[in-house]
């Protein structure tokens, strides 16, 4: 079966670092995506990993270990505007382009 797990909620302090974990068990794998979604808004693309290792984009980094079925999103120098849900999604095997989403992690940044 297809299963993607993320913590439901996290809280962190402005200026701090937070790590959001995602574990997956899927029948196929063509990469892992992270999306950010503010309440009531559309998900927006943050990062993509297909090879093991760390991808860095400014304050955000994403890590992938395919052998462990594990990824994390690291947010540095947290800002209040980072309060949002973070969605982990695995791209299905084959050529369908389909994404399988986890339930999302709601991050609250406090002053």
Partner 1 sequence: DADVTQTPRNRITKTGKRIMLECSQTKGHDRMYWYRQDPGLGLRLIYYSFDVKDINKGEISDGYSVSRQAQAKFSLSLESAIPNQTALYFCATSDFRTGYQETQYFGPGTRLLVL
Instruction: Using CB under 8 A, list all residues that contact partner 1.
Output: 8, 30-31, 33, 40-45, 48, 50, 87, 89, 91, 96-99, 101-104
* Sign, Cα dihedral of 23, 89, 29, 48: negative
Nearest residue (CB) to partner 1, 15 versus 93: 93
Nearer to partner 1, 97 or 111 (CB): 97
**Least distance in angstroms from the C-beta of 106 to partner 1:** 10
- Say if CB 24 and CB 30 are below 8 A apart: no
- What distance in Å separates the CA atoms of residue 48 and residue 17, rounded to the nearest whole number? 20
Contact criterion met (CB below 8 Å) for 49 and 71: yes
Q: Which is nearer to partner 1, 71 or 78 (CB)?
A: 71
């Amino acid at each position: 079966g297809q299963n993607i797990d993320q913590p439901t909620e996290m809280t962190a302090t402005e200026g701090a670092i937070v790590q959001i974990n995602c574990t997956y068990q899927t029948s196929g794998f063509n990469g892992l995506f992270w999306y950010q979604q503010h309440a009531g808004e559309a998900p927006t693309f943050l990062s993509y990993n297909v090879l093991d290792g760390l991808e860095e984009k400014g304050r955000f980094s994403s890590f992938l270990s395919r052998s462990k079925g594990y990824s994390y999103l690291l947010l540095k120098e947290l800002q209040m505007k980072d309060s949002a849900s973070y969605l982990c999604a695995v791209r299905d095997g084959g050529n369908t382009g389909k994404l399988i989403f986890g339930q999302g992690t709601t991050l609250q940044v406090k002053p």
